[in-house]
Structure 1
């Protein structure tokens, strides 16, 4: 059975460290602690005194003054890892944690999970080809030597890089070592830890290289584990759930995140707010739970992105530079059916194809199969279609050999709607106004990935008004744009009003518009 030695890196709040160590060892596991030497000495003494009688707790032999981005974090981890490997021979796995981490599964579940597969869990992708670094310097992390910390002395940090660059002081990477990168939070088997420590002891030049790289906690263990362990035995992922905001800052979890955290496919989560006392208490009790099931839905990142994105209206709809030139042509008409309930819009386009000669396609920017003719490479992916939206429509006009075209758009696609309305071609909009009952909204949440079959009723209850309000807001923003040619139809409106809207939208005779409005089960869900 798996027994875990937790490598606990901490720098503040001694009582929280004490509580965390007692909680984790109460299940029969172990804890090795490093407490930052930048912290007050009396805080460290308090931790040592409180845990002196705990046989499952040990401490790093040396304490480091840790700084974000530099070697000290790796050095602190190594000191603590060596202590754990020495003092806890029964440990089968070594799990790196911070003081802001809390369990989101039980110890029973964690052991069963680790027993299920003989492998290491560490995110490890190729440094140069993996596209893992999104912002900041990249190759410069490795090829130049870093003696200064960017956060403590930004001027010297960048001056040092510029000087090395001007003098051509690029250095070679350690021969025979493929540099890997990934999250610093890992869980490794004992044999892997022992192999890494042996490699470090026998290869001092490699250690000297990493000592002067930038942010080595994202490359050191990731590289060494991949060097000593076959790829088939590495799962390139962390078992600690964390997310980042649009600004690159870690998301902090609070009391109302308990249900969301438990449904993620991870064993621990960070960062848990120090003020979230109820969440901390519940997660602390969870570690001791027995026979508890954990339905996994893993919708956390998508749900967080949805909820935070709602507060950024207007920022995502800026025109793309490659769309600012070109036109569909003054003589052409684009008929846009805008509907959140896609099945209604597609019933109408199917009927339009039957009763008129106007070409009509479906949600070409949302669905691969949308009634498109052969368009070549420009239609090979949804991303390419949206990126080359006007080129796509021009080709569609040419393929259909017609100067009018009907297509469907979701109300959320305001950038597309605004772009087509601004073209020299005439754009007409038919908005299908829909009512959304709770059953539809639940299905909508599942389709968006905000919920799953295992999502508890309480989460649905809390999300329903949020999602309903979001859909209503989409419709209001569409109306507020005050397009010149804008019609509305709805299932609750009289048939003659819907027929009139269709007649003006498509410029078809009244009889055909009435037949279209009377499409069987048009508004049925």
Structure 2
């Protein structure tokens, strides 16, 4: 009978990871866990302690600090695979899972399914000939080297790309390799996994090549498996069910979709909402069930496209991502940098990106670029972002794969600040106090359209005290609201005083906060 070693990649929700590992191991299978090196150390300690006495659970020897699009995701997978191969000699199959995955069949059904055919399940389409990549970079993923993370180091990522492109610094693809592409969620036989590991050990040239490709988790295993296994032994599909929205984001499943998920010809599904407690409970019990009949309908994907095409509103396969959530989620932490002087706030967010691992974007509700990652086109309209602000922020949490996010807001957007502070998420405010000299106020009058180049100087002079009072009043109104988690820095305070405020706001170590507070020219106009 098939015995599965689940390769579990996760970065949050320690209680969910513990429950998932115990559930999978209880069916006679195994679990190898890689917990992201960027995650909270206390969460990892909790997981290790809870699973220490379970002989069917092992941990990757090395924890990678994972980032979307980086080699680190492949490195983390290989570490977990190596740990499983060494610890579980009786494992016949190795199945990739994430912390958001849940079974949609019983273990009994899954074992019988894998026993029925001697093959590997992995999406593996020709990189250049297929249309798997819909938009964005294609051959650029391979022919140029990518050392920086596009989401957290966007300027360096694109600067490096432009330099290589300008000087024609293309590199060849290894001559004997046909690059393939597909989903990272695979299920491979033991002998296939062993061949992949042997290939990795014998081909350092190929390893170096993929280590600097972009999004290698969609190409590495897909290419190597096709290289070491006969095509007739491969099934070009994943056994994990996922649906994508028209924005290219995975659909999240909720409590009312249990029957629909059971009817799909897959063994697991992602993403299951962390708030869909009833669905998680039912699917968890399903894995241990015996004698369950699963009539396969495979209706979900077609139904999703039909309903979204007609604009149906609702929780079950909602038509647009912004209708799926009304909250940012209790597990997420939003940090609001509120500053009238945008250039000062941007210097701070730039320093945060360089000195911490906390994703930080700029005035995303005011400016088009705002240091946002590529969100498939949803981010291109400022008005659209404002209308669907919570959905956009949830999307950013997912894109950055982080439960912390820093954004910039203008103090005039008091309604927006108040709205976000009422959310279930851990939301904090950092007010950057400023001094407004006459030159700045005159510039502000022009920027907001109160006066133009032809406006008489005496009219502008009469406006100066009114505008100054209004700018100062914005900060006072914010203070008067007496938010619980309110912090403030100012140019007239000492570096040490500002560092204390930044440490509380960002939840970082004092040395890091002091470095941020010491940012060169932070408050300079």
TM-score, normalised with respect to structure 2: 0.59
Cross-structure match for 1:33: 33
Cross-structure match for 1:265: 265
Say how many residue pairs are matched. Answer: 314
1:24 is the counterpart of 2:24: yes
Cross-structure match for 1:388: none
Cross-structure match for 2:215: 215
- Whole-angstrom distance in 2 between the partners of 1:266 and 1:149: 32
Cross-structure match for 1:53: 53
Indicate the SS of the match to 1:249.
coil
- Whole-angstrom distance in 2 between the partners of 1:131 and 1:13: 35
1:190 is the counterpart of 2:190: yes
Cross-structure match for 2:485: none
Cross-structure match for 1:277: 277
Equivalent residue runs for 1:52-451 within 5 Å: 52-311=52-311
- Whole-angstrom distance in 2 between the partners of 1:2 and 1:90: 9
- Whole-angstrom distance in 2 between the partners of 1:302 and 1:227: 33
Unaligned runs of 5+ in 1: 317-525
- Whole-angstrom distance in 2 between the partners of 1:243 and 1:143: 30
- Runs (4 or more) in structure 1 with deviation over 2 Å come to none
TM-superposed deviation, 1:280:
0.2
TM-superposed deviation, 1:312:
7.5
Indicate the SS of the match to 1:287.
helix
- Whole-angstrom distance in 2 between the partners of 1:85 and 1:233: 21
- Whole-angstrom distance in 2 between the partners of 1:149 and 1:41: 23
Cross-structure match for 2:13: 13
Cross-structure match for 2:522: none
Deviation sequence 1:452-494 (CA, Å, 0-9, x none): xxxxxxxxxxxxxxxxxxxxxxxxxxxxxxxxxxxxxxxxxxx
Deviation sequence 1:300-329 (CA, Å, 0-9, x none): 11111122222279xx9xxxxxxxxxxxxx
- Whole-angstrom distance in 2 between the partners of 1:275 and 1:20: 16
- Whole-angstrom distance in 1 between the partners of 2:65 and 2:134: 28
1:43 is the counterpart of 2:43: yes
- Whole-angstrom distance in 1 between the partners of 2:311 and 2:36: 37
Cross-structure match for 2:421: none
Deviation sequence 1:318-362 (CA, Å, 0-9, x none): xxxxxxxxxxxxxxxxxxxxxxxxxxxxxxxxxxxxxxxxxxxxx
TM-superposed deviation, 1:197:
0.1
- Whole-angstrom distance in 2 between the partners of 1:206 and 1:112: 36
Unaligned runs of 5+ in 2: 314-318, 320-525
- Whole-angstrom distance in 1 between the partners of 2:312 and 2:90: 51
TM-superposed deviation, 1:158:
1.4
TM-superposed deviation, 1:143:
0.2
TM-superposed deviation, 1:161:
1.1
TM-superposed deviation, 1:153:
1.5
- Whole-angstrom distance in 1 between the partners of 2:312 and 2:96: 35
Indicate the SS of the match to 1:83.
helix
TM-superposed deviation, 1:131:
1.3
Deviation sequence 1:186-214 (CA, Å, 0-9, x none): 00000000000000001111100000000
- Whole-angstrom distance in 1 between the partners of 2:228 and 2:6: 22
- Whole-angstrom distance in 2 between the partners of 1:143 and 1:108: 45
- Whole-angstrom distance in 1 between the partners of 2:188 and 2:312: 40
Deviation sequence 1:94-131 (CA, Å, 0-9, x none): 00000000000000000000000000000001000011
TM-score, normalised with respect to structure 1: 0.59
Cross-structure match for 1:351: none
Indicate the SS of the match to 1:174.
coil
- Whole-angstrom distance in 2 between the partners of 1:175 and 1:90: 36
Deviation sequence 1:247-268 (CA, Å, 0-9, x none): 1111000000100000000000
Deviation sequence 1:17-43 (CA, Å, 0-9, x none): 000000000000000000001111111
Indicate the SS of the match to 2:310.
helix
- Whole-angstrom distance in 1 between the partners of 2:308 and 2:153: 33
- Whole-angstrom distance in 2 between the partners of 1:238 and 1:65: 26
Indicate the SS of the match to 2:250.
coil
CA RMSD in angstroms comes to 1.2
Larger radius of gyration: 1
TM-superposed deviation, 1:90:
0.3
- Whole-angstrom distance in 1 between the partners of 2:222 and 2:311: 36
Indicate the SS of the match to 1:311.
coil
